[in-house]
Amino acid sequence: MINDLFLRACKREPVERTPVWLMRQAGRYLPEYRAIRAKTDFLTLCRTPELAAEVSIQPVEIIGTDACIIFSDILVLPEAMGVKLFIEENTGPYFENPVRTRADIDKLIVPDPCRELKYVMDAIRLTRKNLNNRVPLIGFAGSPWTLATYLAEGKGSRNFSSIKELIYTNPKDAHALLDKLARTTAAFLSAEIEAGAQAVQIFDTWGGILPPDEFREFSLRYIEQVLKLLKHNGAPAIVFCKNCGHSLEAIADTGCSVVGIDSSIDIEKARMLIGSYTALQGNLDPALLYAGPDRIREGVKRILGKFGKGSGHIFNLGHGVLPDTPVGHVKAFVQAVKEESAKYHK
Ligand code: 1CP
């Protein structure tokens, strides 16, 4: 590996500077991505390894990030469980037949990821080959809870009424659904590692819609199950639960190597709480990239200063990069981290 800063920081080993990448770095803010999407619909892009590899590598070459994340989507996994997925150009992804009853849950299949999701594994193998060890490759999946929200709602949601009704009125069925999703997710992430992913990230985008007790019962418990079943093969696991600052210690206790933190969390406090046994990833407000390079650099310096000296920090945003972010600002962000962080590692 030519640049292994990211992997070393995941393990809290010494680094010369803080590594940096962005959640959703392969995507719509890049004109090169939009050029490919103008000719290819989203799911075809996910299912065509040559194109998926190309857009995965774009931010590494154009922005200079220290890690590559495989281009795919968290919703390809539930689709492989037998729920047809549609992506509407303007309104986003949806499932025509949401999963709400015990019969719906029992109908879900536990797929063999090497067969039903072979296109993801092929994309990982090809991306590794084309990266040629320039930077490490990250595989990912949604958390069981976050996948369950999409399955029950059928699409993105404001109130999450269907999934909340399920957990409060019928917790047994909710647990059956989450257990099935956890087993499927563990097999999927293990296959990604086997195919060449050098780290994996679990996105719990919707853990934060639950009160702390329910977050532990319905989300964290199943992330823990995934990590227990995972065939790590040395690959660090990152757990990112958005809006879950109330449970940092519990997240770190799932057995992950890295805890992803959103912008609402003070990274100095997070390091005090869990930094002695896990690395931290984050946490610049994605909207700060609307501001100019000087303001971005100021934000970067503040977070570096709060984390302080030593390894165990992977710089990232607090959530995905926004689609209308100017590319020049994303470059300025990555450049600022590279230049300002060296002094914290002397
Ligand atoms: O028009 C387009 O090109 C489609 C937009 C898009 C993109 C670029 C979608 C649809 N998915 C993706 C790629 C994607 N999704 C990646 C690529 C790798 C990278 O990070 O660069 C990743 C990691 C995801 C993960 C993902 N998909 C999450 C978790 C992360 C997060 O941002 O919270 C979620 C919640 C999804 C669901 C999804 N897929 C797409 C959309 C628009 C959504 C959100 C739907 C909603 O809640 O309304």
Closest CA to 337 of 312, 314, 311: 314
Would you call 73 a catalytic residue per the annotation? yes
CATH class of 5-345: alpha beta
Q: How far is the CA of 73 from the centre of ligand 1 (A)?
A: 6
**Which ligand 1 atom is the nearest neighbour of the CA of 203?**
29
Q: How far is the CA of 278 from the centre of ligand 1 (A)?
A: 26
| Cβ(157) – ligand 1 distance below 6 Å | no
pLDDT, tens only, 198-213: 999 999 999 999 999 9
Would you call 295 a catalytic residue per the annotation? no
Chain center to CA of 263 = 15
The phi, psi pair for 43, rounded to 5°, reads -70, -35
**Which ligand 1 atom is the nearest neighbour of the CA of 87?**
10
pLDDT, tens only, 26-50: 999 999 999 999 999 999 999 999 9
Would you call 24 a catalytic residue per the annotation? yes
Q: State the Cα angle at 250 between 248 and 256, rounded to 5°.
A: 90
Task: Write down the pTM of the prediction.
Answer: 0.97
Q: What is the pLDDT along the chain (346 residues), one digit of tens a residue?
A: 899 999 999 999 999 999 999 999 999 999 999 999 999 999 999 999 999 999 999 999 999 999 999 999 999 999 999 999 999 888 899 999 999 999 999 999 999 999 999 999 999 999 999 999 999 999 999 999 999 999 999 999 999 999 999 999 999 999 999 999 999 999 999 999 999 999 999 999 999 999 999 999 999 999 999 999 999 999 999 999 999 999 999 999 999 999 999 999 999 999 999 999 999 999 999 999 999 999 999 999 999 999 999 999 999 999 999 999 999 999 999 999 999 999 999 9
Residue closest via CA to ligand 1's atom 34 equals 74
- Which of the listed residues 21, 24, 46 should we mutate to test ligand 1's pocket, taking the one with most ligand atoms within 8 A of CB? 24
Looking at the chain, the number of H-run helices and the number of E-run strands are 17, 9
d(C-alpha 253, C-alpha 138), whole Å = 22
DSSP labels, 94-141: EESS---SHHHHHH-----HHHHTHHHHHHHHHHHHHHTTSS-EEEEE
End-to-end CA distance of the chain: 22
Residue closest via CA to ligand 1's atom 46 equals 156
**Which entry of 8, 12, 17, 37 is annotated as an active-site residue?**
37
CB 182 within 8 A of CB 222: yes
| Cβ(253) – ligand 1 distance below 6 Å | no
**Which entry of 150, 222, 262, 271 is annotated as an active-site residue?**
150
Q: How far is the CA of 270 from the centre of ligand 1 (A)?
A: 26
